[in-house]
Amino acid sequence: MKKLSVAFLFCLTSTVAYAQVQSQNNFVNVNKPVICGPMEQLLKGLADKEVNEKPVWIGQREDQKTEFYVFLNFDNSAFTIIEAGKEIGCILGIGYKSNFLSPPKPKTQSLNY
């Protein structure tokens, strides 16, 4: 039953997005359905033995009202991206074949006193 629930969740989040042209700059406004629910349930589902994803990255929106999380399964390279408020989280994307890119090298700064 858990496999069926996880498969259903993956299918719903991988729906095709519809776009409408928003401006002359080739940007589009995309209406993409997402699944949202209690953050506690999302975290339990990601930690389940069949999914086994761990948080590897967190970032905060500029207005500090929501946070973004990236969860990763190190065994099969599956990932989930979540946007979360205080109690509710939304799955923005799910996929496979994740790869780490080389982090940018920090510029050396000279100290001026």
pLDDT by residue for the chain (113 residues), tens only, comes to 444 344 444 444 443 334 444 445 788 888 989 999 999 999 999 999 999 999 999 999 988 889 999 999 999 999 999 999 989 999 999 999 988 887 767 766 555 54
Instruction: Report the candidate in 50, 37, 53, 68 with the shortest Cα–Cα distance to residue 98.
Output: 53
Q: How far, in Å, CA of 7 to CA of 89, rounded?
A: 19
Q: How far, in Å, CA of 52 to CA of 48, rounded?
A: 5
Provide the whole-model pTM.
0.67
When computed from its CA atoms, the radius of gyration of the chain, rounded to whole angstroms, is 18
Question: Are the beta carbons of 5 and 50 closer than 8 angstroms?
Answer: no
Instruction: Report the candidate in 69, 50, 49 with the shortest Cα–Cα distance to residue 59.
Output: 69
